[in-house]
Copies of this chain bind each other. A is one copy, B any other.
């Protein structure tokens, strides 16, 4: 009954086995390990992108900050949702790495709307040298509200950004969950709909700590590598990052883990709806249900762990996140305790 975050679960057995195996013998450091070469091949195959380049780091904040800094100048604006992780949960890391300003775009359910983005694009960068210049677009999928952009929705937003010449970033801390929820392929969710750089999450979905920064255009690869080192994010025993990612991408493990997380999220949502809770649209593994006052204490007494969120008078709201390791029994115990 641990639904606080997908990062409170551990690593999947296959990932842990890969770490143990990677420990054998000596290996080149700083990314020159053999497994990293294989990871690059895997990324290119999975994304159907033969030119793609991937760099590994250990945290999502690092992946986002490096991706943004590599695509937005210090006098640029990063257009993102007003509740984006980069805006609310990264303690100015994107600004630290890039110097840029985040321009917050409104939108319900965690999603930027084309209208919202159009307005932000139209009202930014129009005062010449005085104001911040339009820099780039950053989307998140699965969104911070647990909703999921379809490829078509992403395309409608990136088209607006591209019309202004802006590169587009996707924060995919829960990228696998978004794919499972939509049935889209990796290519359909990224470069085919205008995404130039992807933060490809592994940590929340069964790894110990690894994220890839995937550049669909290799021109900025060396700059990103220098920025990674300068940020202190280049691992000496890099093999342990590569090993995680290689196992994660092998035999569809990453999608299987996400499918389990999503299925448990859906089971939880359905069970709560059956019990008269309000459950806003949440097609992946993260829910923000609300219910009549009283359940929080009962659930907590039963041992459930999750975040309480502000709710209207007479109601309680929760953030519930299922992970690759959530079982049907976990969900059902929660529902029973509800």
- Give chain A's interface residues, CB within 8 Å of chain B: 2, 5, 7-11, 16, 19-20, 22-30, 57-66, 73-75, 88-93, 95-97, 99-102, 104, 127, 129-133, 203-204, 208-209, 223, 225-237, 239-240, 305, 325
Contact = CB atoms under 8 A, between A and B. Distances in A.
Given A204-B236, A236-B7, A237-B203, A75 B57 contact: no
B209 A91 contact: no
A23 B5 contact: no
A127 to B, nearest CB: 7
A7 to B, nearest CB: 4
A53 to B, nearest CB: 14
Contacts of A65: 232
A96 B231 contact: yes
Contacts of A226: 73, 75, 91, 129, 133
A101 to B, nearest CB: 5
B99 A101 contact: no
Contact of A59 (B20, B208, B236): B236
A237 B57 CA distance: 14
Contacts of A104: 104
Nearest to A60: B236
Contacts of A132: 91-92
A229 B26 contact: no
A8 B29 contact: yes
Given A60-B236, A133-B226, A232-B61, A74 B89 contact: no
A63 to B, nearest CB: 8
**A16, A61, A104: most-surrounded residue (chain B CB, <10 A):** A61
A23 B8 contact: no
Contacts of A236: 5, 7, 59-60, 203-204, 209
**A57, A91, A97, A127: most-surrounded residue (chain B CB, <10 A):** A91
A59 B130 CA distance: 13
Given A26-B325, A88-B127, A93-B230, 18 more contacts: A10-B27, A59-B234, A59-B235, A61-B234, A63-B232, A64-B232, A75-B230, A88-B131, A91-B131, A92-B100, A92-B230, A96-B99, A96-B231, A208-B237, A208-B240, A209-B235, A209-B240, A231-B232
